[in-house]
């Protein structure tokens, strides 16, 4: 893999999760452009820089030895990548202060570097949270590959920060620079909420939660076919999002024990709030993580999963396949993985390579619900 070379450092970076013969590199031209821009400003070592949505640590690790860096994102995998890549490049794993997107940052910042996220609601929430955290003459610089830079990103910077100047394109990347000006205090529209009829619950959704405004159609197809009569089974909701699958299942299975995990901190925050709203103080384990990587082998009876088909802007089934493998390791012999997926993705044949029995539970014109038994 090529090295990231900037005026600050030469770095050897890996993506997370790692895969053999990784076809993609852990940085792009937008990272290079942001670092070049900051280098041209000759900022002092006392400059406080907040970095948002640094995918695999390229920005934070480059700048860390040259100024005061705080990194914040909504990705557990992004945080894991930052820690591993710090060590890979000769720095302590905790050399950069990391703040999950579900937690407010502290103090004033002279510069804010943003990798424009796929979900513009996350960008909006982050810009609103910058209120009161920008020093005098602060700049907010957002970078992205042009194909992933919607016009609305500039509109949001203008609305919440100040006048925006767009750079010339460089290697198909562009920067949007806003100098902070006084703005009327904004009230965040997040979290959003919606109600379900069956089960009769209200779901809260923080800014970066998948299908924030309403139940996604895959989950809607899955809900009527969740397993019943589970007794005191140990159940995991893998990639839990706002927690709806686990909550619906828990309402049907009052003696079962639940673990909810997602790599999004805002999803975990949403799931926790939704669980306690629907189920009170019923015991549960809700955590941000790399899927079931930290789950002990043969410690679960059932896994529920509506697998993702993208990581940031990268589309593919690598994450789903990895989740299926993790589920197999975590399940007891005889345990079962239940999933919903688009029919065209061919999950049946993939699961058949890992599990001894795969059956179709239900089907719709677009989705299939499968049960894979270990």
Strand-strand pairing, 357-363 and 367-373: antiparallel
Choose the final residue of a domain: 144, 179, 214.
179
The continuous run of DSSP H or E covering 59 comes out as helix 58-63
Which residues sit opposite 19 in a β-bridge? none
Choose the final residue of a domain: 134, 152, 179.
179
User: Which residues constitute the domain of residue 274?
Assistant: 192-373
Are 210 and 351 within one domain? yes
Are 28 and 135 within one domain? yes
Does any domain span residue 46?
yes
Are 204 and 256 within one domain? yes
Are 346 and 213 within one domain? yes
Are 203 and 125 within one domain? no
* pLDDT score at 244: 97
Domain count for the chain: 2
Do the beta carbons of residue 327 and residue 234 sit within 8 Å? no
Does any domain span residue 278?
yes
Does any domain span residue 184?
no
- Tell if the pTM clears 0.75, that is, is over it: yes
Are 273 and 239 within one domain? yes
* pLDDT score at 350: 87
Residue 139 backbone dihedrals phi, psi, to 5 degrees? -120, 145
Which residues sit opposite 300 in a β-bridge? 331
Are 294 and 316 within one domain? yes
* pLDDT score at 313: 46
Are 231 and 368 within one domain? yes
Does any domain span residue 186?
no
Are 218 and 270 within one domain? yes
Strand-strand pairing, 234-238 and 300-305: parallel
* pLDDT score at 309: 62
- Which CATH number characterizes residue 258's domain? 3.40.50.150
Does any domain span residue 270?
yes
Are 55 and 105 within one domain? yes
Distance CA 64, CA 122 (A): 24
Q: Rounded to 5, what percent of the chain is helix, strand, coil?
A: 30, 30, 40
Choose the final residue of a domain: 136, 154, 179.
179
Are 41 and 143 within one domain? yes
Does any domain span residue 185?
no
CA nearest 249: which of 235, 263, 261, 238?
A: 235
Does any domain span residue 257?
yes
Are 218 and 251 within one domain? yes
CA 313 to chain centre: 12
Residues of the chain with pLDDT under 50: 310-311, 313-315
Query: How many other CB atoms sit within 10 Å of the CB of residue 104?
Result: 10
Does any domain span residue 129?
yes
* pLDDT score at 314: 44
């Amino acid at each position: 893999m090529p090295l990231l070379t900037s005026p600050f450092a030469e770095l050897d970076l890996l993506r997370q999760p790692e895969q053999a013969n990784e076809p993609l590199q852990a940085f792009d031209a937008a990272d290079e452009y942001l670092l070049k821009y900051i280098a041209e400003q000759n900022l002092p070592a006392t400059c406080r820089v907040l970095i948002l949505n640094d995918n695999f640590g390229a920005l934070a690790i480059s700048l860390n030895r040259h100024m005061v860096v705080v990194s914040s994102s909504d990705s557990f995998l992004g945080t894991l990548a930052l820690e591993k890549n710090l060590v890979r490049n000769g720095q302590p794993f905790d050399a950069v202060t990391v703040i999950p997107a579900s937690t407010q940052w502290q103090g004033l910042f002279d510069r804010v570097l943003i990798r424009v996220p796929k979900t513009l609601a996350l960008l909006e929430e982050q810009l609103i949270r910058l209120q009161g955290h920008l020093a005098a003459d602060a700049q907010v610089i957002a970078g992205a590959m042009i194909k992933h830079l919607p016009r609305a990103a500039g509109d949001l910077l203008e609305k919440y920060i100040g006048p925006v100047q767009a750079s010339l394109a460089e290697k198909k990347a562009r920067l949007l620079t806003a100098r902070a000006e006084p703005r009327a205090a904004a009230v965040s529209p997040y979290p959003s909420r919606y109600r379900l009829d069956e089960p009769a619950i209200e779901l809260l959704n923080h800014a970066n939660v998948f299908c924030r405004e309403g139940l996604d159609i895959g989950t809607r197809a899955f809900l009527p076919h969740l397993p019943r009569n589970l007794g005191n089974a140990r159940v995991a909701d893998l990639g839990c999002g706002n927690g709806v699958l686990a909550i619906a299942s828990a309402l049907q299975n009052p003696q079962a024990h639940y673990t909810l995990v997602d790599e999004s901190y805002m999803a975990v925050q949403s799931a926790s709030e939704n669980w306690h709203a629907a189920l009170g103080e019923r015991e549960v384990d809700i955590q941000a993580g790399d899927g079931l990587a930290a789950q002990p082998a043969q410690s679960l009876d059932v896994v529920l999963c509506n697998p993702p088909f993208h990581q940031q802007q990268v589309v593919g089934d690598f994450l789903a396949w990895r989740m299926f493998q993790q589920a197999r390791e975590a399940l007891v012999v005889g345990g079962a993985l239940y999933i919903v997926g688009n029919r065209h993705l061919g999950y049946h044949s993939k699961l058949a390579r890992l599990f001894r029995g795969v059956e179709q539970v239900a089907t719709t014109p677009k989705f299939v619900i499968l049960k894979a038994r270990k």
